């Protein structure tokens, strides 16, 4: 009996920490194979490249906690980014371009949420449609041509440094802290978790589940636009296919999320 209990405990331990152990073993192997792997420069570069996905991940955490899904994050990032790129090239005003970029992201996310709560369209269908619409609008806006050559202050968010630390890492860290605070320390975070656990019970307890849904998708739209802004700043180029690398496997759907 004791041996059986020990076996179950071992299985639980492996199930809980198996991914972490595999990651540690992989890092150990790469450290042995290359003297450039375990270096500050490489670590910083990996974090800088991962910062864009990390920002999107915060928004997707909000969505997944409501038992939802958003397939349009990449297309939202692309449309927001190409419009912002055109604004900064036309006016030279970086603050205006940044504001337009974030506003478009919020509007697209809000549109997703409103369609879900008013027409009762499932998140998968709603965001799949928005993915197609946003990508099509980005293609029409750019005519398939990349927009390049941005001023240095516009590129700062994506390619700048504060001391030795790349700005995207700082932005991602700030987003993570704010996201954690909202989910763990605010009433909105409690409402989000309640909505995901049991939407009927949440509604009957007095939570405005419709408003919470709209806010959550507006947040992921905002963070998608921010990620797009960092991406084109780093690449010094905006294209209608920007954000295509944000594809992810969602609940066994394969490479569907744009």
Quote the mean pLDDT of the chain: 89
Please state the rounded mean pLDDT for residues 199-204: 93
Is the pLDDT confidence value at 102 over 90? yes
Same domain, 44 and 163: yes
Same domain, 12 and 106: no
Same domain, 4 and 57: no
* pLDDT at position 251: 40
In a domain, 257, yes or no: no
Q: How far from 13 is each of 1, 9, 16, 108, 246, CA to CA, in Å? A: 18, 6, 5, 42, 31
**How far is Cα 51 from Cα 173, in angstroms, rounded to an integer?**
8
In a domain, 142, yes or no: yes
In a domain, 150, yes or no: yes
Task: Report pTM.
Answer: 0.86
Number of domains in the chain: 2
Same domain, 32 and 130: no
Q: Percentage of the chain with pLDDT > 70?
A: 90
Same domain, 4 and 124: no
* pLDDT at position 252: 42
Q: Percentage of the chain with pLDDT > 90?
A: 66
Same domain, 31 and 57: no
What range does the domain containing 69 cover?
40-246
237 forms bridges with which residues in the sheet? 148
In a domain, 224, yes or no: yes
Contact of 195 with 209, CB cutoff 8 Å: yes
* pLDDT at position 254: 43
In a domain, 255, yes or no: no
């Amino acid at each position: 009996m004791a041996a059986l209990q020990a076996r179950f405990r071992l299985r639980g331990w492996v199930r809980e920490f198996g991914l972490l152990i595999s990651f540690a073993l992989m890092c150990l192997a790469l450290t042995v194979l290359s003297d450039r792997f375990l270096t500050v420069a490489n670590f910083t570069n990996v974090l800088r490249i991962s910062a864009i996905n990390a920002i999107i991940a915060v928004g997707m955490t909000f969505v997944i906690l409501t038992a939802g899904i958003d397939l349009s994050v990449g297309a939202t990032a692309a449309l927001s980014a190409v419009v912002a790129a055109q604004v900064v090239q036309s006016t030279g005003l970086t603050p205006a371009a940044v504001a337009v970029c974030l506003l478009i992201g919020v509007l697209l996310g809000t549109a997703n949420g409103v369609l879900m709560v008013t027409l009762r369209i499932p998140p998968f269908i709603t965001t799949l449609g928005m993915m197609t619409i946003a990508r099509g609008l980005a293609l029409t806006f750019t005519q398939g041509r990349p927009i390049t050559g941005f001023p240095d202050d516009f590129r700062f968010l994506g390619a700048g440094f504060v001391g030795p630390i790349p700005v995207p890492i700082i932005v991602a860290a700030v987003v993570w802290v704010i996201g954690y605070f909202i989910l763990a320390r605010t009433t909105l975070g409690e409402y989000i978790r309640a909505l995901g656990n049991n939407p009927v019970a949440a509604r009957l307890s007095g939570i405005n589940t419709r408003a919470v849904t709209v806010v959550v998708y507006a947040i992921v739209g905002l963070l998608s636009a921010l990620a797009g802004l960092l991406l084109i700043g780093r690449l010094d180029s905006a294209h209608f296919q920007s954000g295509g690398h944000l594809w992810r496997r969602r609940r066994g759907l394969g490479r569907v999320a744009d």
